Structure 1
Amino acid sequence: MKLSERLIAPGLILFGGGVIFASAGLPQVPGVRFGADLMPSITGGALILFGGMLGWQAWSKPMTEPLLDISEWKVSTRKRVTAIWTICALLAGTLLFQSVGFPLIGLIFMAVLMVLMGARPLTIAIVAPLFVLALHLSFTRIMHVELPVGPLGAFL
């Protein structure tokens, strides 16, 4: 599948704006000179800048290719299911983040993704919980970013 730069550029610009808008609501950390919104704002600004540069390049030359070309798209069913799972799980995780909590959402997302990618059950049983726990602890204890814990709050 080939997606034209004329479609990618506005998508990057919109996504960058969304990142900046969402980061404005992050809580300030007491005693820290820079807020939690600094890195997401820089990232959003970079996305807008690069999207603008890509759009300028794409729209300054004549259009010779279609916006979307799926004529040569030959993808296995497993890869399609993996892509669909990733998109749907991220959307569901965004909606359920506060009520279900980061550890449970992260564990389910990562375990299913590892199954779809062909990982062995023992690897999944070891890697997924340890990685999600390490990620949660690094955010909450080292970077002091509060993440919702959901029903697993008693264990963390």
Structure 2
Amino acid sequence: MVKPNNVGDFWLGVVFTAAGSFILIQALGFRPMPGMPVGPGLFPSITGGAMALFGLVLALQGWFAKAGDDLSLVPEEGEVAAETAPVRADFWSRIPFIPGLLAAIVATILIMPHLGFLITGAVLTAFLVVLGGGGWKSAVIFSPIVTVAVYALFFYGLRVPLPHGLLG
């Protein structure tokens, strides 16, 4: 009997393909809203289609991987190449990240109606960059650019109303 060479990747890909296909089929069944070019099924369709596609890619990679291929994303101890960033693979080193992430999400939900999307989004993004191991300089440069891009996409492109807050 023929078996996949990387069983974990193969089955994970199969599960993602099945879940993505289910989401896509369900999203295609949503009725479009009259007079609206974008219906309620657009985002779920994109998400489900992407899940199915990338799940299929992962399943095929798991099936056709050669036995000697090193597919790990985390280098072994002592193998860190000069161009790779330090990876915190140890579970316990991620413990401060989890409560920090949850606190940032809760704070964003509570503060965004008062400060607005642009201010809260920039602060949240900067905090998450630093929390994830980035430097303050890159966080200060990166966060306003990403926040304005996301704001423009949702507010102007998709016409989703976002809270203005202090910038009213």
TM (normalized to structure 2)?
0.49
Q: Distance in 2 between matches of 1:3 and 1:60?
A: 10
Contact 2:17 2:53 in 1 (8 A): yes
Stretches of structure 1 lacking an aligned partner (at least 5 in a row):
none
Q: Of the two structures, which has the highest relative contact order with CA contacts closer than 8 Å and spacing of 6 or more?
A: 1
Contact 1:82 1:113 in 2 (8 A): no
**Structure richer in helix, relative to its length:** 1
1:46 aligned to 2:63? no
Stretches of structure 2 lacking an aligned partner (at least 5 in a row):
1-5, 79-85
The aligned length equals 145
Q: Distance in 1 between matches of 2:109 and 2:43?
A: 22
1:12 aligned to 2:24? no
Q: Distance in 1 between matches of 2:13 and 2:101?
A: 25
User: In structure 2, what is the equivalent of residue 129 of structure 1?
Assistant: 144
CA shift, 1:16, in A, is 3.4
Deviations 1:85-122 (A, max 9, x none): 489637963x67654435455323321244332242xx
Mapping of residues 89-128 of structure 1, within 5 Å: 89=101, 93=105, 98-101=109-112, 102-103=117-118, 106-115=121-130, 116-120=133-137, 124-125=139-140, 127-128=142-143
Report sequence identity in percent.
24
Q: Distance in 2 between matches of 1:32 and 1:97?
A: 30
Contact 1:114 1:124 in 2 (8 A): yes
User: In structure 2, what is the equivalent of residue 32 of structure 1?
Assistant: 36
Structure ID, larger Rg = 2
Deviations 1:101-145 (A, max 9, x none): 35455323321244332242xx64454235413422431133202
Distance 1:19 1:128, change over 3 A: farther
Q: Distance in 1 between matches of 2:60 and 2:100?
A: 32
Q: Distance in 2 between matches of 1:3 and 1:48?
A: 18
Contact 1:16 1:47 in 2 (8 A): yes
Q: Distance in 1 between matches of 2:22 and 2:110?
A: 22
Contact 1:9 1:51 in 2 (8 A): yes
